[in-house]
Structure 1
Amino acid sequence: MSTHAKLLLRHQRPFIKFWFARVFTASGFQMLAVAIGWHMYELTGSVLDLGLVGLAEFFPRLLFILWTGHVADRFDRRRVAALCQGLQGLIALSLVLGAGGLGITREMIFVLAFLLGTARAFEGPATQALLPSLVPTQLFPAAVAASSSAMQAATIVAPALGGLLFAIGPLWVYGPVALLFALACSLMLSLPKRPAPPKQTGPAMDNLLAGMRFIRSRPDIFGAISLDMFAVLLGGATALLPVFAKDILLTGPWGLGLLRSAPAVGALLMSLWLARYPINKKVGRVMFAAVGVFGVATIAFGLSTSFWFSMGVLVVLGAADMISMVIRGAFVQLETPDAMRGRVSAVNGLFIGASNQLGEFESGLTAHWFGTVPAVVIGGVGTLVVTATWMKLFPTLANRDQLHRDLN
């Protein structure tokens, strides 16, 4: 048996538990996102409110940025992640009670979106920092792709399922979501306990800001995560999918679910390819090319009036985004010391949150100002401008050949 095969077998069981925990968490969140988005649009008919939901989910990342990574580096990462998954399960139960007779209001959705964002803000750094301890360094790039495939597999099935179940009734969505988070919590707690993290010394504020200083001192890391933030911030159209589904492509909740699933189809296929054939050469140029394709696909989606063409370009968009995500995620984690991975992941999570949840707010706001289609097209053009600008600002990143370099 080869050394590579022995390593895979040795670390197989913990990683499989981790993988399924990610599947259940991602499935629960995606089903919630579809249900909450459609629910809000049915209640208010406002594209701005759809953007405000994204803002409510993003705000905790900004509010707690100094603490999320500190908690991940200071406490048992398994327990931190499990606690956050439990909180998300309670949010789903609250929606069960609301849909069961107490009623769900616009204000209630905003509050629950804030709590959901809080849970995910603390869960993200703990989960990201946990993965490197489950597999050896030489297997980590493949593990990142495989872990990402868990997210994308869930994102393919869960939004479509959530849309179909919501068409039957909200209770049919929120109940299963609570169960998924409970399963994820149980699996996370069953992972092997890791050695206690080293005690942090020095002023508390210095420890809290260490992740920011580390990222700023590494131009390639800073360039990669800021590229993702600005490109997806401008190019993200997720918040407007309920508008496209209902008013432009003329489908119902089932169509919204399929549209939300489409990027994950491309991302899953690409993650499976990358797990088998990792990118080891010219990683900088490949990443920038992928972000450029993301921008072009966003423009094509904004101009489309065909449901199936829209599905197709969203598949391409998801595949391009996965290439960028795997490259960025692998070398950020590999070039960060374990004792700092939580704090660095927290800062990275802020950038990701800004590109996703804050991007949803940006999409809702620009759609309110200019209209839905112009907002998406303008965002896609903005992504292309950012890509070209970042290639000039971060030449070492654009010309980076290897995914991982030894720390000095």
Structure 2
Amino acid sequence: MTEVHSARQFQNDPLASMRLPEFRFLMGGRFLFIMALRMMATLVGWWLYELTNDPLAMGLVGLAEAVPAISLALYSGHVIDLSDKRKLLLRGVFLYLSCASILLLLSYSYQHGSTKVMVVSGIYSVIFFTGIIRSFTGPSFSAILAQVVPRPLLANATTWSQGTWLTASVTGHAMAGFLIAAFYTTGTLVVICSLIVLGWLMLLKLLPKPPAAQAGQQKTWESVQEGLRFVIRTKEVLGALTLDLFAVLFGGAVAMVPVFAKDILKVGPIGFGWLNAAADIGAICVVLLLTLFPMKKAQGKKLFFAVGGFGLCIIVFAISETFWISFVALLLSGILDGVSVVVRGTILQLKTPDEMRGRVMSVNSMFINSSNEIGQFESGVAAKLMGLVPSVVFGGCMTILIVTTTWFKAPSLRKMEY
């Protein structure tokens, strides 16, 4: 009951959640883990383009991860709701470490005679397995949040969680570029494995997180259907997820950053790392600002304006041939995306019952995987068919069109406040 008392005492304190030791362990472990994964994603994109010199190869990475992640998303939500979330999370992080270790072995073997075909095939295989692991690990991080902090602090904890994720992303993206330049692929993978180990040790300090009392009373398919029905019935949740899905699906230019960096802007690994980190730098800045000064009203309208502005920034990035303009465009896109992330994450946490968190967060994960990884595949295919710059301009225009359409089709989301 001490934590509940603290929640009431510090409810208006921006640092309220961070005063809870277990929440700090969760955020510390998540920071190290996400930073390692973002470094891995940056490294794999650069590595594959170096090996193949083909934008489509990077698009196929997104597909390789998204297919298993999306296919297992609904089932994983059922499993999460029935499981001790701490054990599930620790198991998932350990399996990610195994995948990173295999990439390290592939890098070492390439230096000692393995063929490009063998290495590229190995990379795709590893990414496929990370998609399976991600379908359980990603939603577990979100679902465990409500068991670590009391409900009065949930909105504050959600903002801190998003800020932690984004800070880890920007750090991972930026560091990967520097590490690739300094230590090449093998050395960078050693750092990635080390960070995952440290994150696992932080998460080990969490207390057991058994399933809610109401969980486990339904068969698998009935449980999955209940989670889907909840998302469909809760119009604000469905609208926010749908808007994010299609906007990022068409507007995700980050997948093509290695090509822009190398072929258009003519920068090396360091410049590539900063471009890859630009959107996350903007996002973390705005999330920190929103942590100290939360949005008080008209969150729905702000969500629409943020996603529409995101599409406009993608168009500017596409047509730019100057490094600093490209960097600023991605920076602003991250600021606007950060607003979207905070609004969407807060809606999910506040609207979801404890016994359904695994299933709802898995549906959210399925939408995110669809928009990011399938969007990465769409970007690669579009670049191959339309050309690099026209494909990204097209994606930005489609994002703006989707926002305009949703504005009129989803009035409840437009009027939403919390």
TM-score by length of 1: 0.95
Contact 1:143–1:275 under 8 Å retained in 2: no
Local SS of the residue matching 1:107: helix
**Cα separation, 2, equivalents of 1:142 and 1:306:** 39
| Matched residue type, 1:169 | Y
Q: 2:9 aligns with which of 3, 15, 35?
A: 3
**Cα separation, 1, equivalents of 2:235 and 2:378:** 27
Q: Does structure 1 residue 218 correspond to structure 2 residue 224?
A: no
Residue 11 of structure 1: how far off its partner (Å): 5.3
* 1:86-235 → structure 2 map (5 Å cutoff): 86-101=94-109, 103=114, 105-167=119-181, 168-198=183-213, 199-235=215-251
Cα deviations by residue, 1:2-57 (Å, 9 ceiling, x for unpaired): 81179937952111111111111111111101111111111111111110001111
**Cα separation, 1, equivalents of 2:254 and 2:68:** 19
Residue 204 of structure 1: how far off its partner (Å): 2.5
Local SS of the residue matching 1:230: helix
Local SS of the residue matching 2:10: helix
Q: Does structure 1 residue 80 correspond to structure 2 residue 88?
A: yes
**Cα separation, 1, equivalents of 2:227 and 2:138:** 15
Q: 1:22 aligns with which of 7, 15, 30?
A: 30
Contact 1:224–1:328 under 8 Å retained in 2: yes
* 1:294-305 → structure 2 map (5 Å cutoff): 294-305=310-321
Residue 137 of structure 1: how far off its partner (Å): 2.4
**Cα separation, 1, equivalents of 2:233 and 2:33:** 33
Contact 1:155–1:260 under 8 Å retained in 2: no
| Matched residue type, 2:137 | E
| Matched residue type, 2:197 | A
Cα deviations by residue, 1:112-135 (Å, 9 ceiling, x for unpaired): 111112211111111101112222
Q: Does structure 1 residue 54 correspond to structure 2 residue 68?
A: no
Contact 1:299–1:381 under 8 Å retained in 2: yes
**Cα separation, 2, equivalents of 1:20 and 1:9:** 13
**Cα separation, 1, equivalents of 2:128 and 2:209:** 31
Deviates most, 22-31 or 152-161? 152-161
**Cα separation, 1, equivalents of 2:69 and 2:191:** 26
Contact 2:247–2:402 under 8 Å retained in 1: yes
| Matched residue type, 1:19 | M
Contact 1:162–1:257 under 8 Å retained in 2: yes
Local SS of the residue matching 1:169: helix
Residue 358 of structure 1: how far off its partner (Å): 0.6
Cα root mean square deviation, aligned: 1.7
Contact 1:14–1:191 under 8 Å retained in 2: yes
| Alignment CA distance shift 1:91-1:222 (3 Å) | same
| Matched residue type, 1:375 | S
Local SS of the residue matching 1:364: helix
TM-score by length of 2: 0.93
**Cα separation, 2, equivalents of 1:196 and 1:367:** 45
Cα deviations by residue, 1:374-393 (Å, 9 ceiling, x for unpaired): 11110000000000111111
| Alignment CA distance shift 1:249-1:395 (3 Å) | same
**Cα separation, 2, equivalents of 1:203 and 1:194:** 22
Aligned residues: 402
Contact 2:100–2:193 under 8 Å retained in 1: yes
**Cα separation, 1, equivalents of 2:211 and 2:224:** 18
Q: Does structure 1 residue 69 correspond to structure 2 residue 77?
A: yes
| Matched residue type, 2:84 | D
Q: Any unmatched runs of 5+ in structure 2?
A: 1-5
Q: Does structure 1 residue 279 correspond to structure 2 residue 287?
A: no
Q: Any unmatched runs of 5+ in structure 1?
A: 404-408
Contact 1:83–1:185 under 8 Å retained in 2: no
